[in-house]
Amino acid sequence: MITMYKSRNIGRIRLYEPDYSVLEPPCLSDIQVLVGVRNQDVYQLPKSHIAAEIWVKNNINPYWPRVLFRCIGVGNDLIPGPGAQYILRAMKNLRNALLRHGYLCNHIKVSAAIRASCAFPIHHWLERSLKNDYALFSSENVAVKDGGLSCFNLFDAIDGALHAFMQKAVAPGVEAVVLESGWPSAGNGEFTIAKMARVKAGGAVERNWGSFYPNKGPCLFV
């Protein structure tokens, strides 16, 4: 996998959890890594700074600086949801553990992934008021106006709402990174593969979440 990344000049990789089969080999050098904390581990980290110390000792220390950890992602899609209450304390404990182990904050940052799955969320309302091109980046006209802002697609609307929230509730200048995007491989009603096929020229709609097949061949050319 790492060989494929390097052959295609991909300089960053996201691991949803520490994968020792990826972290151990020396070939990972020169690729920045975002490593995730498993959801089941997130609940332990806020309880004690010792848990955060152990996590850093086991999952960061053996590999740094050979592995260029760019960020630690605390959980995946726990925000929003019942697990959200644990995220901030877990992030603080991990950050403090990194500092105690001598890592500078500008070397390895601590963050969290929020769930922004909002692609056509309310089917009946959308069927009446919005067209598919709003979600498929093909609209040539403004679809939504919010004050002085205009949105041509759903992604811009979600991204803009997130940044507006962060400016007011968190702090100005906090960076947000898009980690995932995709169209569901299956749906219901008007949003199944068969129904959506009519908006795409050529063959069937792609059913892949990523840019590569399991055999590492490209399925999307970007």
- Model confidence pLDDT, tens digit, residues 34-79: 999 999 999 999 988 999 999 999 999 999 888 989 899 999 888 7
pLDDT of the residue at 181: 61
What pLDDT is stored for residue 218 in this prediction? 74
DSSP per position, the chain: -HHHHHHTT--EEEESS--HHHHSSGGGTTSEEEEEEPHHHHTTTTT-HHHHHHHHHHHTTTTTTTSEEEEEEEEEEEESSGGGGGHHHHHHHHHHHHHHTT--TTTSEEEEEEP---SS-SHHHHHHH--GGGTTT---S--EEETTEEESSHHHHHHHHHHHHHHHHT-TT-----------SS-SGGGSHHHHGGGSSSSPPP--SSSB-TTS-BSS--
- Pair 84, 39: CB distance under 8 Å: no
The confidence score (pLDDT) of residue 157 equals 83
Contacts of 88-91 spanning 24+ positions with Cβ under 8 A: 89/45, 89/46, 90/37, 90/42, 90/45, 90/46, 90/52
Q: Parse the chain into domains and list their residue ranges.
A: 1-115, 121-174, 188-222
What's the confidence (pLDDT) of residue 69?
92
pLDDT of residue 132: 62
Kindly report the pTM of this predicted structure: 0.69
17-32, pLDDT tens digit by residue? 998 888 887 777 788 8
Closest CA to 91 of 117, 70, 119, 72: 72
What local confidence, expressed as pLDDT, does residue 209 receive? 55
Q: Is 60:103 a contact under the CB 8 Å cutoff?
A: yes
b/e sequence 37-64, b meaning 16+ C-beta within 10 Å: bebebbebbbeeeebbbebbeebbeebb
The tens-digit pLDDT sequence of the chain (222 residues) is 777 877 788 888 889 999 888 888 777 778 889 999 999 999 999 988 999 999 999 999 999 888 989 899 999 888 778 888 999 999 999 999 999 888 866 688 898 877 766 544 445 445 555 556 776 677 788 878 888 888 888 788 888 888 888 888 766 777 777 766 655 444 444 544 455 555 555 555 445 556 777 777 776 665
Give the chain's largest Cα–Cα span.
Answer: 56
Cβ contact 59:101 at 8 Å? no
pLDDT at 221: 62
